[in-house]
């Protein structure tokens, strides 16, 4: 199991006993595509390192609208699982698994025990939370101050980078959930993009005809 976690920045700074404690306790958690879990600071099971798959981290309004904050990709550590290691840091959030996913979990009590005695582990945790906080705040700034056209352009380009393809297997509903808006708003803007020659629309697919111009339009 050590090969699954030895890439972590603090690994070489651990003592042999700390490495042994982690190796003996770490386990694999599997999630099927489409699984949605509600995550809050009180139900954290440990540090979550995504080994395979992809997850979407989002918040939900009382009215049921969703806003995507970020995505967790292969080889990344879940920001929420790192945040729950910090005392008095509370959150209430949802995770949707967009692909069949496997995560490597270092149990909370083991990780906290190592973090309390090893400054490199604590620095990793605090640094990761700080870096990702700025990313999430940037997403909130887009939501608050950017036009819906700009936000939709950025969302399409994000999926383009994720899929590594101009053809996105993506519904208008999924984009609306990403952006926290109505499907009708997304459809209207996509039709505008199509009339401008930026995208081609078909059932369940959006093809980016000119990603560079789409980027400039945002």
Distance CA 150, CA 156 (A): 10
pLDDT at 43 over 80: no
Nearest to 40, CA basis, from 97, 101, 83, 102: 83
Distance CA 187, CA 8 (A): 42
Instruction: Return the pLDDT at 3.
Output: 66
Instruction: Return the pLDDT at 134.
Output: 79
Confidence of residue 142 (pLDDT cuts 50, 70, 90): confident
Report residue 146: phi and psi, to 5°.
Answer: -90, 150
Pairing status of strand 66-72 against strand 27-31: unpaired
Contact 85, 134 (CB under 8 A): no
Confidence of residue 23 (pLDDT cuts 50, 70, 90): very high
Contact 1, 11 (CB under 8 A): no
Chain centroid to CA 111: 21
Instruction: Return the pLDDT at 218.
Output: 61
- CATH architecture observed for domain 2-144: Sandwich (2.60)
pLDDT at 19 over 80: yes
Query: What CATH code is assigned to 147-217?
Result: 1.10.10.10
Q: How many CA atoms lie within 13 A of 194 on its CB side?
A: 12
Contact 111, 47 (CB under 8 A): yes
Instruction: Return the pLDDT at 95.
Output: 92
Distance CA 210, CA 166 (A): 9
Contact 29, 129 (CB under 8 A): no
List, as one string, the DSSP characters of 7-66. TSTTGGGS-HHHHHHHHHH-EEEEE-TT-EEEEEGGG--EEEEEEES-EEEEEE-TTS-E
pLDDT at 193 over 90: yes
Q: Identify the weakest region by mean pLDDT among 24-33, 49-58, 88-97, 201-210.
A: 88-97
Average pLDDT, the chain: 89
pLDDT at 169 over 90: yes
Domain ranges for the chain: 2-144, 147-217
Two tokens at 14?
A: 């651990």
Two tokens at 33?
A: 């595509």
Q: Identify the weakest region by mean pLDDT among 14-28, 88-102, 191-205.
A: 88-102
């Amino acid at each position: 199991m050590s090969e699954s976690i030895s890439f972590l920045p603090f690994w070489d700074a651990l003592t042999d006993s700390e490495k042994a404690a982690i190796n003996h306790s770490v386990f694999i958690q599997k999630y099927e595509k489409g699984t949605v879990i509600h995550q809050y600071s009180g139900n954290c099971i440990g540090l979550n390192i995504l080994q395979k798959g992809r997850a979407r981290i989002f918040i939900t309004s009382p009215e049921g609208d969703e806003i995507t904050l970020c995505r967790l990709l292969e080889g990344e550590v879940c920001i929420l699982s790192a945040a729950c290691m910090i005392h008095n840091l509370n959150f209430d959030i949802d995770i949707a698994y967009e692909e069949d996913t496997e995560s490597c979990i270092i149990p909370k009590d083991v990780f906290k025990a190592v973090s309390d005695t090893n400054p490199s582990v604590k620095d990793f945790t605090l640094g990761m939370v700080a870096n990702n906080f700025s990313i999430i705040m940037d997403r909130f700034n887009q939501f608050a101050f950017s036009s819906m056209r700009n936000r939709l352009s950025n969302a399409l380009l994000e999926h383009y980078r994720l899929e590594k393809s101009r053809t996105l297997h993506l519904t208008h509903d999924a984009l609306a959930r990403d952006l926290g808006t109505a499907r009708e708003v997304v459809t209207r803007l996509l039709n505008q993009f199509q009339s401008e020659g930026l995208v081609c629309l078909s059932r369940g697919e959006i093809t980016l005809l000119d990603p560079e111009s789409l980027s400039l339009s945002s």
